């Protein structure tokens, strides 16, 4: 899978998303301008000691991203509160891209209008504007991974019995 962050602004969100990407073997794409420097302490703190394991690519703008990821034009979903379809209605393939916009404004309207049939939303109650970006990424990413059988992911854990005296 591929997570695309268009002009992310908050380093802690990007750090948390990076950690989720490492845990799921997902590539992270960051499209500039970024609201932080990639070497900031906050981003690495949120990503903890996983940051060096992250498959990350940074692009100067959206055009640069599409030039270097030709398949993205055909295999992209756009996460937005303005979508007519929920993220559960999408049919994800293992190499799909899911784009999320910056925290303060989301994905620009012209991009959404050009891709209306590929726009997806997370249902929310009432008039809540949106969820936190890193939470939104996790919700949709895990749905996409679930639809693909959590391919090559560890599906079971093991309890270690503790004895008390």
The 3-state secondary structure of the chain reads: CEEEEECCCCHHHHHHHHHHHHHHCCEEEEECCCCCCCCCHHHHHHHHHHHHHCCEEEECCHHHHHHHCHHHHCCEEEECCCCCEECCCCCCCCCCEEEECECCCECCHHHHHHCHHHEEECCCCCCCCCCCHHHHHHHHHHHHHHHCCCCCCCCCCCCCCCCCC
User: Is 20 marked as binding a ligand?
Assistant: no
Report mean pLDDT in 10-residue bins for the chain, 165 residues: 97 92 96 85 65 92 98 97 96 97 96 97 90 97 95 83 76
Per-residue confidence (pLDDT) for residue 47, from 0 to 100? 57
Per-residue confidence (pLDDT) for residue 40, from 0 to 100? 60
Question: Could you tell me the pTM of the whole model?
Answer: 0.91
Q: What is the CATH number of domain 2-147?
A: 3.40.1280.10
User: Is 104 marked as binding a ligand?
Assistant: no
User: Is 120 marked as binding a ligand?
Assistant: no
Per-residue confidence (pLDDT) for residue 137, from 0 to 100? 98
């Amino acid at each position: 899978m591929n997570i695309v962050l268009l002009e992310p602004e908050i380093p802690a969100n990007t750090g948390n998303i990076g950690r989720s990407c490492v845990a799921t073997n997902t590539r992270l794409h960051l499209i500039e301008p970024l609201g932080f420097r990639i070497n900031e302490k906050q981003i690495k703190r949120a990503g903890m000691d996983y940051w060096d394991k992250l498959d990350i690519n940074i692009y100067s703008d959206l055009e640069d991203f599409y030039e270097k990821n030709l398949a993205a034009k055909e295999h992209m979903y756009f996460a937005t509160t303005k979508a007519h379809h929920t993220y559960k209605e999408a049919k994800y393939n293992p190499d799909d891209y899911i784009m999320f916009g910056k925290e303060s404004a989301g994905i620009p309207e012209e991009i959404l209008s050009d891709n209306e049939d590929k726009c997806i939303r997370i249902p929310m109650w009432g008039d809540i504007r949106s969820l936190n970006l890193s939470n939104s990424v996790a919700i949709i990413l895990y749905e996409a991974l679930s639809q693909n059988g959590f391919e090559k992911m560890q599906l079971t854990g093991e309890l270690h019995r503790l004895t008390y005296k």
